[in-house]
Amino acid sequence: MTEPHEPAMYLAQLHLENFRLFAYFARALPRGPLLIVGPNAQGKTSLLEAVAYLATFSSFVARTEREVIHFLALREPLAVARVRGACVRSALGNTAAEPIRLEVRIIHQARPQGGASPTRKEVLVNGVRRKLVDALGTCTAVLFVPQMLRLVDGAPELRRRFLNQSLAQVEPGYAAALAAYNRALTQRNALLKAVAEGRARAADLRVWERPLAEAAARIMQARHRALAAWNRLLLQRYRDLLNRTEPLRLVYRPALDVPEAPTQTRLFGGEEPAEPPAALLNDRQALTQHLLDRLAQRRELDLRRGNTGLGPQRDDVRFVAGGLDLAAYGSRGQVRTAVLLLKLAQAAWYTERTNSKPILLLDDLLAELDADRREELLAHFFQAGEQVLLTTTDESMYPARYRDRTEVWHLQQGQVVAAQPASGPGL
């Protein structure tokens, strides 16, 4: 139980058109916890995905953006999925700020000549079109879906996407740096190809390496600082949750092309990943210069490989506890807890950065945890956010002590067939 209404972000209204199985959906949301109950494939996860769209303008779940558009709408030459929400960032003392109307459109257009143009997106803030990078941060949310358990041992690309979506919401300039980086990288890689085919000179690579290094330094520094902050929060607030002895640590592995510090071999054959070169990562100018030098030095190598072998597109993060890399040595339960801890740290960091708690979106959080663990984690999540949206297939897993403060929706085929508002006081 916390003081009522610390500053928090919440969504007052959610409105969907042609999003996944929701041809149309409109509903007011409670400011506190909301439990969405229903069998699988009724739209529970899609509701959370929709809210996450308002925060990141992208999906963590979808393989292609096209798949979030309702299948019937896709038969039309112009198919538009819309997610609209009224976002409120409440201030201290329970004075609600003006809601900001946010709309994300995912648009798929057939070409008259046949074939399809790529899916594109538009974002409107209070009815006015904005660049995506300028509208980020209007709504802040932390999403957990069970697919994220793969963050620990899945492909590095997943961890980079997670970092990007997390940082873009609260780190000014991050999304713009990422866009600039990707464009400069595409140019340098195209030129590498042209040089290899004898159509251009290797010396011309230089003019693309300056913007590449500048954007890379910005991204890598932001990642380093965010991970350092998460580690601090994990240590301060959540050190006991994983295995009662050692806290979870996230080890940043930036692709800086530096010789690695030797890995420490632990007892029982575990290997602790080397720490990143903090001095270099903390000094933007030195970092940019380092990247510029390395890019110049490795032109021959990159020409043979056909792409750029260093930079944030090759970064990684390891999850470490008790000196062990959880990707190799973590039990199923440890991996699950580690990802949930990461989400708690992310939420706490958002609160520090934006002075208000983010919306929490927790898909199937309660599964595979014993009752004590569930209560313990839920208590932390209800502390980390005010508007907490949870889904479950089994309502009985939801602890009774939270029941009367929680609004409950029963969802069937994209419809709320029964709803009970919270009866008790807010959390």
Closest approach of other proteins to the CB of residue 118, in Å: 16
Give the residue with the Cβ less far from other proteins, 135 or 233.
135
Please state the closest distance from residue 71 (CB atom) to other proteins, in A: 20
If the CB atoms of residues 210 and 266 are measured against other proteins, the closer one turns out to be: 210
Per-residue 3-state assignment (H helix, E strand, C coil) for the chain: CCCCCCCEEEEEEEEEEEECCEEEEEEECCCCCEEEECCCCCCHHHHHHHHHHHHHCCCCCCCCHHHHECCCHHHCCEEEEEEEEEEEECCHHHCCCCCEEEEEEEEEEECCCCCECCCEEEEEECCEEECHHHHCCCCCEEEECHHHHHHHHCCHHHHHHHHHHHHHHHCCCHHHHHHHHHHHHHHHHHHHHHHHCCCCCHHHHHHHHHHHHHHHHHHHHHHHHHHHHHHHHHHHHCCCCCCCCCCEEEEEECCCCCCCCCCEECHHHCEECCCCCHHHHHCHHHHHHHHHHHHHHCHHHHHHHCCCCCCHHHCEEEEEECCEEHHHHCCHHHHHHHHHHHHHHHHHHHHHHHCCECEEEEECCCCCCCHHHHHHHHHHHHHHCCCEEEEECCHHHCCHHHHHHCEEEEEECCEEEEEECCCCCCC
| C-beta closer to other proteins: residue 203 or 279 | 203
Nearer to other proteins, 25 or 181 (CB): 181
Minimum distance between the CB of residue 189 and other proteins, rounded to whole angstroms?
8
Least separation, in Å, of the C-beta of 15 and other proteins?
Answer: 25
Give whichever of 133 and 220 is closer to other proteins, judged by the CB atom: 133
Quote the least distance from Cβ 193 to other proteins, whole Å: 8
Q: How far is the CB of 194 from other proteins (least distance, A)?
A: 6
How near is the Cβ of 312 to other proteins at its closest, in Å? 16
Return the number of the residue (48 or 185) whose C-beta is nearest other proteins: 185
Which is closer to other proteins, CB of 30 or CB of 312? 312
Per CB under 8 A, residues contacting other proteins are: 77-78, 110-112, 180, 183-184, 186-188, 190-191, 193-194, 199-200, 204, 206-208, 210-211
